[in-house]
């Protein structure tokens, strides 16, 4: 299954101009999808009998600052075997261009339930909002964290007061006694 096969299969099922081929150095078929048509195209990718991309294992993003559009959200899909393209699993990379001045796109968690936590991770790390997401909140960083650490303009020189812990203080005699007790325990076992 080539990129062109997938674009041809989507023709007529999605709005004109919603999908375009994307280059991929690794040979995996890849397409760009206009973010305003994300839900329609993804439903077609999942439901068309000639495609059936039923499994969405991964979603992530890339920050291309200073380029505009600044972000790309990438989704990986798997078709677990269909009549039109043989019985072996097929993969597809779907990319969405997201501008830096409006970092948002529709949620895909209604199409593939597995996108729920992945979209939360992309939101947490990159600050990309997924409109319609049922529970869009931080998942990796603490709730009171400021900013989005995977952005290229995130300040890496964080000034925090270091937390100092005093080491456990034991005397040489206590250390030797603890060591001997460990050896005795090991022999008994």
Residue 116 and residue 124 in contact, taking contact as beta carbons nearer than 8 Å: no
Residue 41 and residue 18 in contact, taking contact as beta carbons nearer than 8 Å: yes
pLDDT in tens, 115-153: 999 999 999 999 999 999 999 999 998 888 888 999 999
Cα-to-chain-centroid distance, residue 120: 9
Q: Which residues of 5-40 are buried (b: 16+ CB within 10 A; e: fewer)?
A: ebeebbeebbeeebbeebeeeeeebbbbbbbebbbb
Is a pLDDT exceeding 90 seen at residue 81? no
74's tokens: 């990438």
- pLDDT grade, residue 3 (50/70/90)? confident
User: Which class is domain 3-154?
Assistant: alpha beta
Helix or strand holding residue 106 (H, E): strand 104-106
Does the pTM surpass 0.85? The reply is no
pLDDT in tens, 34-65: 999 999 999 999 999 888 899 999 999 999 99
Mean pLDDT of the chain: 88
pLDDT in tens, 152-167: 998 876 666 655 666 6
pLDDT at 75: 95
pLDDT at 27: 85
% of the chain surpassing 90 pLDDT: 58
Q: Which residues of 98-133 are buried (b: 16+ CB within 10 A; e: fewer)?
A: bebeebebbbbbebbeebbebbbbbbbbbbbbbeeb
Domains of the chain, by residue range, sit at: 3-154
């Amino acid at each position: 299954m080539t990129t062109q096969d997938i674009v041809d299969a989507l023709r007529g099922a999605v709005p004109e101009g919603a999908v375009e081929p994307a280059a991929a150095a690794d040979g995996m078929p890849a397409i760009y999808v206009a973010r305003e048509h994300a839900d329609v195209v993804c439903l077609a990718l999942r439901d068309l009998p000639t495609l059936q991309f039923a499994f969405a294992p991964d979603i992530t993003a890339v920050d291309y600052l200073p380029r505009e559009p600044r972000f790309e959200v990438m989704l990986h899909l798997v078709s677990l075997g269909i009549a039109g393209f043989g019985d072996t699993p097929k993969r597809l990379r779907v990319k969405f261009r997201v501008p830096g001045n409006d970092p948002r796109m529709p949620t895909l968690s209604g199409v593939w339930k597995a996108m729920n936590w992945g979209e939360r991770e992309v939101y947490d790390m990159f600050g990309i909002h997924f409109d319609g997401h049922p529970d869009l909140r931080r998942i990796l960083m603490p709730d009171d964290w400021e900013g989005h650490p995977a952005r290229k303009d995130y300040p890496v020189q964080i000034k925090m007061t270091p937390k100092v812990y005093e080491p456990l203080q034991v005397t040489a005699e206590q250390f030797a006694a603890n060591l001997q007790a460990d050896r005795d325990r090991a022999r008994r076992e």
